[in-house]
Amino acid sequence: MSTENRTKCVVLGVTGGIAVYKACEILRLLQKRGIDVFVVMTKNATRFVSPLTFETLSGHPVAVDTFERPATWEVEHIALAKRADLFLIAPATANIMAKLANGIADDMLSTTALATRAPVMIAPAMNTGMWDNPATQQNLRTLEARGVQIIAPATGHLACGDSGAGKLEAVETIAERAVQALERRQDMRGLRVMVTAGPTREALDPVRYLSNRSSGKMGYAIAQAARERGAQVTLLTGPVAIPAPQGVEIVPFTTTMELLECAKARADGQDVIIQAAAPADYRAREIAAQKIKKQGGAGLTLELVENPDVAATLGERKRSGQTFVGFAAETQDAIAHAEDKLVRKNLDLIVANDVTRPGAGFDVDTNIVTMITRSAQMQLPLLSKADVAERILDQILALREQRRGD
Ligand code: CTP
């Protein structure tokens, strides 16, 4: 039976807080989308709403305690953990976040959450002070970095009388995010992916630098798409003005030399490396200690030295089983130059674009690219960078599949 056609299953974890009653509504909204929902409650949650309510709504027994006699002869928490296509905790208290972040399994919900291999999504709801507490914020970052999808709380009037962040996000939004996550292919689960993005800056003096027009948008779109498809993503980023995608490890760099160091240190542990960054090919031979002054009408000559080629350096150390992808931003003969770079940098795939074409290249949300492998060329139409990202990831998976079959 195709896994795509069977009824999807959400395990809904409900933790104690005044917003528990809203979980009933989330359950109903998910059911309306044809999703089978199983509920796991913490003891505290049952003080707000009786398990009987969730049992009646879901049509399944509600799991509360690990020591209860299971309804079936399977070990119940493991059975639920396996059945889940998505593990959604809503509302999620500061306490469950702390437990998840630390791998604590001391009741039915935390035990099931630790055992599941399904994507985990949490919708926190708590008092503003608890949300703002550095401990909660650190737990949040830990969970995010591990790929837990966070539905951030809204700001508003809270049940405790305070106003601020901590209000459970609208139930419709939570249900929609859950549906989207279920519809997403998880075909990159288990893969470690490193993406480089953005420009470098090469200082000339304390106030000036050499850089380029890379916006980082293409690399960021790839990092986000890979994350959503289940990969564990590290994003090496130059200075850009766009928000970082959720759930990826961010490693900032400024110069090409810094990028090289960051990339070399992490390359070995990766399955896939996608280099969308635009590292400057040259840097100043010497960075002036003081601001360079006007030369009284005479011209100014800067002496530049060549930077190392990051992609070529990584390419020399490529292990079997790794898939390396580069970009070639060209202004003429894009395909011929790209083919040359594919071989020279020991890449498996290169994405070529002619940055002079309208709708392609820097600072726009679209791109027109040709994907080139050692054996094929695929010209894509004008697409959003998000769609280009998906096509590149599809191609990477196809290459890896093909190699496994060889
Ligand atoms: N690249 C790199 N290190 C550099 C320059 C480029 O790793 N110093 C990488 C880019 O991240 C990209 C690919 O190489 O994936 C092609 O970048 P591009 O600027 O098109 O290539 P160059 O080798 O710099 O070629 P040229 O400037 O001669 O076109």
Per-residue pLDDT of the chain (406 residues; tens, 9 = 90+): 344 568 999 999 999 999 999 999 999 999 999 999 999 999 999 999 999 999 999 999 998 876 665 555 456 678 888 889 999 999 999 999 999 999 999 999 999 999 998 889 999 999 999 999 999 999 998 898 777 889 999 998 888 788 888 999 999 999 999 998 898 888 998 999 999 999 999 999 999 999 999 999 999 999 999 998 989 999 999 999 998 887 899 999 999 999 999 999 999 999 999 999 999 999 999 999 999 999 888 999 999 999 999 999 999 999 999 999 999 988 899 999 999 999 999 999 999 988 888 888 777 888 899 999 999 999 999 998 999 999 999 999 999 999 888 7
Residue 262 falls in the annotated catalytic set: no
User: What's the Cα-to-Cα distance from 201 to each of 223, 257, 363, rounded to whole Å?
Assistant: 22, 10, 17
- For ligand 1, whether the C-beta of 283 sits within 6 Å is no
CA 406 → CA 55, 342, 349, distances in Å?
51, 21, 17
Q: Find the length of the chain.
A: 406
Measured CA to CA, the distance from residue 231 to residue 186 in angstroms comes to: 8
pLDDT at 1: 36
Q: What is the pLDDT of residues 349-396, one digit of tens each?
A: 999 988 888 888 777 888 899 999 999 999 999 998 999 999 999 999
Contacts of 157 (CB under 8 A, 6+ apart): 163, 167
Q: How many CB atoms lie within 10 A of CB 241?
A: 8
CA 394 to ligand 1 center in whole angstroms: 23
Residue 117: the pLDDT is 85
Considering only CA atoms, which of 78, 80, 77, 92 is closest in space to residue 26?
92
* DSSP conformational letter for 153: P
CA distance 128 to 158: 8
Ligand 1 centre to CA of 309 (Å) is 7
Type of residue numbered 351: V
CA distance 238 to 260: 12
Nearest atom, ligand 1, residue 308 CA: 8
Atom of ligand 1 nearest to the CA of 311: 7
Contacts 24+ apart (CB under 8 A), 207-212: 207/291, 208/291, 208/292, 210/280, 210/282, 210/283, 210/284, 210/304, 211/280, 212/278, 212/280
